[in-house]
Amino acid sequence: MIIMTETVYHCPEKIKHLEANNTLPKKMERMLAQAGLENIVKGKKVCIKMHLGGGIGYTTVHPIFVRTLVDAIKKANAKSVFVCDGSAKGAEDRGYTRRSIHAPLVSLFGPGGGTVTAPMNFKTFDTADISKRVLGADVLVVLSHLKAHGDCGFGGAGKNIAMGTVPPGTRAKMHALEGSIKWDEAKCKRCNKCIEECPNHANKFNDQGKYEVFWHACKFCRHCILICPEKALATEGSNFGDFQEAMAHVIKHVLDHFGKQNVFFINVLKNITVFCDCWGMSSASLVPDLGILASRDLVAVDKASLDMVKEENLIQDGIPEDYKLGGGSHLFEKIHGKNPYLLGEILNRLGSGSVDYEVTQVD
């Protein structure tokens, strides 16, 4: 077996001199050029997949970095470029507009969207519906905000594809592999925080005051579990490995569809928080800002990103007061109890990326 060492480009947050040319957007421009983005996108229809956040969240990728990427793609004479997420509703409230990012914003599952059904053949995860708009592009650029994640372990390029290019029904099928949610009636005070926090309105207290979950709508994001102040909800029969395997199968299908010559990955390591941007809120950073990484290899860029997040640099204000660090080898694992490296290891086994990388710094 040939082991490939992939190149990961890194723009560090720290600057040498207080000049505009030394700041992160300018470094990003140079990084994209050095990484050969022009050769990937020239003459092609480019899809930029990112997460646009929600609610009062303010820690998603800043519009200036989206604009820097879009402008680089246009300068490279791409045929066209668009920015997308599952839904672009409310994106303008967080500063994402056509004027601010220089490209149209597209909702993948809005009117005219549609999906393609792909075979997965993993246990009960038999098929996945994947966005036609994503698969219809010539090139996929995945722009991700790195953060911890209560269900997936962490959010990076892998999660951006696995959860961001499929509709709620497919996400629910993947999450179903994890198990179920157990309600402890004795602990529950029926404060309704779990109901209010559910993004899919999949739970309720029935007429008898019993907690119920409508599993067809539940995507197992665990927001209800994490928000409960009484710890009355818990994961039952959890199987994190199967869930990660299902995510890996979706990622592999998407990467195989495009081919390595038509994909590019950018991870923004700023405002690295304890929860996903899908919470529609923000909290203090866990560690100092680390800059931006880019690579032609998804596994390499995600692993390099994780390796840069070190527990010794923990900012205590980033940990909610009612959380305590547990065991594990990575800071994210000590927070959420999930091995963040597992997805990359599975993708490496499936031949969809390399865990071996070298970092090239771009100043």
Q: pLDDT (tens digit, 9 = 90+) per residue, 305-341?
A: 999 999 999 999 999 887 889 999 999 999 988 999 9
User: Is 71's pLDDT higher than 60?
Assistant: yes
DSSP 78: B
Q: Residue 295: what are its φ and ψ, rounded to 5°? A: -165, 160
3-state secondary structure of 222: coil
Residue 36 falls in which region: left (phi positive, over 0), alpha (psi -120 to 50) or beta: left
Q: What mean pLDDT is reported for the chain?
A: 94
**Closest by CA position to 274, among listed 155, 160, 149:** 149
**Each residue of 142-162: pLDDT tens digit?**
999 999 998 889 999 999 999
**Each residue of 87-113: pLDDT tens digit?**
999 999 999 999 999 999 999 998 889
CB atoms within 10 A of CB 313: 12
**Each residue of 174-205: pLDDT tens digit?**
988 887 788 999 999 999 999 998 887 889 99
Give the confidence band of 2 by pLDDT, cuts at 50, 70, 90. Answer: low
Section 263-271 average pLDDT? 98
Q: What is residue 110's predicted lDDT score, i.e. its pLDDT?
A: 87
* CATH entry, 179-236, from 3.40.140.10, 3.30.70.20, 3.20.20.70, 3.10.20.440: 3.30.70.20
Section 62-78 average pLDDT? 98
**Closest by CA position to 151, among listed 354, 343, 353:** 343
Give the confidence band of 48 by pLDDT, cuts at 50, 70, 90. Answer: very high
Q: Per-domain residue ranges for the chain?
A: 6-166+248-361, 179-236
**Each residue of 202-230: pLDDT tens digit?**
899 999 999 988 765 676 777 899 899 99
Q: What is residue 357's predicted lDDT score, i.e. its pLDDT?
A: 98
Section 277-300 average pLDDT? 96
The rounded distance, in Å, linking the Cα atoms of 59 and 284 is 9
Section 241-249 average pLDDT? 96
% of the chain exceeding 70 in pLDDT = 98
The CATH architecture one would assign to domain 6-166+248-361 is 3-Layer(aba) Sandwich (3.40)
Strands of 78-124 (E only): list them. Answer: 80-85, 105-107, 115-122
Q: What is residue 101's predicted lDDT score, i.e. its pLDDT?
A: 98
Query: What number of H helices and E strands is found in the chain?
Result: 13, 16
State pTM to two decimals.
0.90
Give the confidence band of 235 by pLDDT, cuts at 50, 70, 90. Answer: confident
The rounded distance, in Å, linking the Cα atoms of 71 and 84 is 16
6-166+248-361 shares its CATH topology with 179-236: no
User: Is 122's pLDDT higher than 60?
Assistant: yes
Q: What is residue 77's predicted lDDT score, i.e. its pLDDT?
A: 98
Total residues found in the chain within this entry: 363
